[in-house]
Structure formats: C-alpha cells, structure tokens
Amino acid sequence: MTGSANILHSDIEKARSVRNRRSELKRKIKNGSMTVDEVFSMGSDYLKYFANMKVYEFVCAIPGFGPVSAEKLLAKLKISHCKKLKGLGKRQSVYFFGYFNIKSP
C-alpha cells in the first residue's frame, strides 16, 4: 500500500469504529441503561461520538420517542431535523437542554 492508501484505510477504520461505538451508545440509551444526562456529561466521548449526530437521530434513540414524536418535539423547539447536536444555536440549546432538564455540555 502507498502512503495515501494507508491514510485512507486508517480514516475508514476510524470512521467505522466511531459509527459502531455511536450505535452501541444509542442502543444503551434506547434500552434505558444510559440516560440523556449521562450522554452530555461524557466529556470528550460526547464530542467524539455524539456532537456530529443529528438531533433528530438522537431524539429517536431516547425511550418514548419515535420518528413522529421526535419530529413534533423538534418542531415545538424550533429545531430543524437536519441540525446536528454541535450545531445548535444558543436559543435552540436552551430549549433542547431545558426540555430534557439537563445542563448543556
């Protein structure tokens, strides 16, 4: 393998491991073994695994929320379903974290 092929391969492996870990954490949230508050207090793991996740996808992973209820919540909080967690504006963050009664990361 050439140098650039090695870099590409390592980037692909890194992305795969992030997706696998994010999937595992979403399962923990869905089955209740991890709370929303715990997600946002994960520090660097939050930034690595959740910051680039869409808010809609995150809300759908929370017990009691499905696609329809997640869409309704985002509409109520005035958050686009395309928005990522790290891209929430100041007002959106206040509404989002206030709804779940947690402090922002």
**CATH number, residue 47:** 1.10.8.50
For residue 96, give the nearest of 1, 65, 25, 16 by alpha carbon. Answer: 65
Its domain, for residue 26, covers 3-99
Instruction: Name, in order, each residue with C-beta under 8 angstroms of 41's C-beta and a sequence gap of 6 or more.
Output: 105
Residue with tokens 């089955």: 31
Domain assignment of residue 51, yes or no: yes
4-22 pLDDT per residue, tens: 667 777 888 888 988 898 8
Domain assignment of residue 105, yes or no: no
Burial 53-70 (b: 16+ CB within 10 A, else e): bbbbebbbbbeebeeeeb
Instruction: Calculate the average pLDDT of the chain.
Output: 87
3-state secondary structure of 71: helix
For residue 61, give the nearest of 42, 85, 79, 80 by alpha carbon. Answer: 85
In this prediction, what percent of the chain has a pLDDT beyond 70? 94
**Count of structural domains within the chain:** 1
Domain assignment of residue 104, yes or no: no
45-83 pLDDT per residue, tens: 888 888 889 999 999 999 999 999 999 999 999 999 899
Q: What predicted TM-score, i.e. pTM, was given to this entire model?
A: 0.82
26-38 pLDDT per residue, tens: 899 999 898 888 8
pLDDT of residue 1: 52
Burial 77-101 (b: 16+ CB within 10 A, else e): bebeeebbbeebeeebeebbbeeee
Query: Using only C-alpha atoms, what is the Rg of the chain?
Result: 15
